[in-house]
Amino acid sequence: MDTSEQMDSEYQYKQRQVAKNKGKEFRLGEGRISGYCSLMLGGLSLLAVIAYLYPSMLTTTELRKLYDAEQLQVVLKYGMYTSIGLGFLTFILNNGKYKFLGLTGISLTLVAFLLGGYQIPVGPVEPKELSLGVDWLILAFLGSIVVFVSLEKLFPKYKDQLIMRPEWGVDLFYFCFNHLAISAILVFANYHVSHFDWAVSATLQQSIRDIPIWIQFVVIVLCADFVLYWEHRAYHEIQLLWPIHAVHHSIENIDWLAGSRGHFVQVFSERAMVMIPLYLLGVEQAALNIYVTFAALQAVLIHCNVGISFGPLKYILVTPQFHHWHHSSEKPAIDTNYSAHTIVFDRLFKTYHFPKQHWPADYGTTQRLPRTVVGQTLYPLKVWGKRMKRRYAK
Ligand SMILES: [Zn+2]
Ligand SMILES: [Zn+2]
């Protein structure tokens, strides 16, 4: 038993307490659920209609290849009618408080109808290198609600943790930013990777393309994980970089949305770094698509408030419990569990902390960060400024 394992076995693990908040809970029949759903669908419908009006500015070139814009108009049609229906339901169920949510939902949908609704003609779109990923934002948001919020409700770890828990608005902002900025992130990542042309080997790429797709997928997972492990570890262990990554660790209520919280410098640098192995390996498009889907789903899942054990998979892959430990502010867990995809590199480089009978009792950073997006974005500058002052004061 090495010293860190000894420390872990002596540590007194506690259980996290999440207080029930009856006043803020979603309960059927109150008009609150229908009000928020109407508002959400109204807002998304309006965004979608604006994206249909200005597709070259507001949709993503790469993503457009993967969906049929005309078929999605059918989804939009049902979304708009559902928003209006739920808006009216709010009025029927509720005589005060939540009417305003339904009214706002209906109003947003009516504006969407006035702008052309689900019948805006779809034609060829001029590809632009830089655009806002409104399509990516809408699809990812709806997909996440359907998949991850359902998982959290069906298999919650903390069943009293609310969907609209403290700071959900801050994390929603990060979610929107990360998705809207997708093309800027890709442009930056491609520019960054163009500096690695010298390392490309046609022979290596050909021999990788000769192996079966699923092995190509395993190779990318391991290579990407290796890069992400060291990038993540650098953010923790290099003093200059920590204040940037501390923003991601300032989350105190972890769920599907919380994983989006991250300083924009980290968001851009992480994608740029992971692009290096993807570029150098030159795997087939099919393997790359499987990897990108796997990585995107896993990144959200590991933050989810789900208590699923994942059986033997937890000995191979990064699971919610494993990554929740990475977010713990408890002593044995600090600076551990850096991996993004598999647990291999944490095992190999001795940064593995996974007491399987326990979950963290406390999340967050040991020094509390500002609680607003602006405060968090400026936080690294504040820390670096303070350090400079201290250095010159000596
Ligand atoms: Zn971290
Ligand atoms: Zn995380």
Arithmetic mean of pLDDT, 147-168? 93
Per-residue burial over 345-357, b = 16 or more CB atoms within 10 Å of its CB, e = otherwise:
bbeeeebbbbeee
Residue 362 has pLDDT above 60, yes or no: yes
- Ligand 2 centroid to 120 CA: how many Å? 39
- Ligand 1 centroid to 44 CA: how many Å? 32
- Ligand 2 centroid to 257 CA: how many Å? 11
- Ligand 2 centroid to 203 CA: how many Å? 37
Considering every ligand atom, which ligand is closest to the CA of 245? Answer: 1
For residue 166, the tally of other CB atoms under 10 A from its CB is 13
Q: Which amino acid is at 330?
A: E
- Ligand 1 centroid to 323 CA: how many Å? 9
Arithmetic mean of pLDDT, 366-394? 93
Predicted local confidence at residue 8, as pLDDT: 63
- pLDDT tens per residue, range 292-309: 999 999 999 999 999 998
Q: For residue 187, what are the CA distances in angstroms to 97, 184, 206, 265, 272?
A: 45, 5, 26, 14, 9
Q: What is the DSSP letter of 210?
A: T
Arithmetic mean of pLDDT, 360-377? 94
- Ligand 2 centroid to 170 CA: how many Å? 15
- Ligand 1 centroid to 281 CA: how many Å? 26
Considering every ligand atom, which ligand is closest to the CA of 237? Answer: 1
Predicted local confidence at residue 6, as pLDDT: 54
Considering every ligand atom, which ligand is closest to the CA of 302? Answer: 2
pLDDT band at 3 (very low <50, low <70, confident <90, very high): very low
Task: Yes or no: say if 118 and 73 are a contact pair by the CB < 8 Å rule.
Answer: yes
Considering every ligand atom, which ligand is closest to the CA of 338? Answer: 1
Residue 1 has pLDDT above 50, yes or no: no
Task: Yes or no: say if 256 and 202 are a contact pair by the CB < 8 Å rule.
Answer: no
Return d(Cα 303, Cα 132) in angstroms, integer. 26
Considering every ligand atom, which ligand is closest to the CA of 346? Answer: 1
- Ligand 1 centroid to 167 CA: how many Å? 19
Q: For residue 375, what are the CA distances in angstroms to 23, 172, 260, 379?
A: 29, 16, 16, 6
Return d(Cα 382, Cα 88) in angstroms, integer. 48
Across the chain, what does the average pLDDT equal?
Answer: 93
- pLDDT tens per residue, range 309-318: 899 999 999 9
What are the structure tokens assigned to 174, written together? 């990060």
pLDDT band at 324 (very low <50, low <70, confident <90, very high): very high
Residue 46 has pLDDT above 70, yes or no: yes
Return d(Cα 303, Cα 321) in angstroms, integer. 9
- Ligand 2 centroid to 363 CA: how many Å? 11
- pLDDT tens per residue, range 248-288: 999 999 999 999 999 999 999 999 999 999 999 999 999 99
Q: Which residue has the higher pLDDT, 1 or 133?
A: 133
- Ligand 2 centroid to 21 CA: how many Å? 25
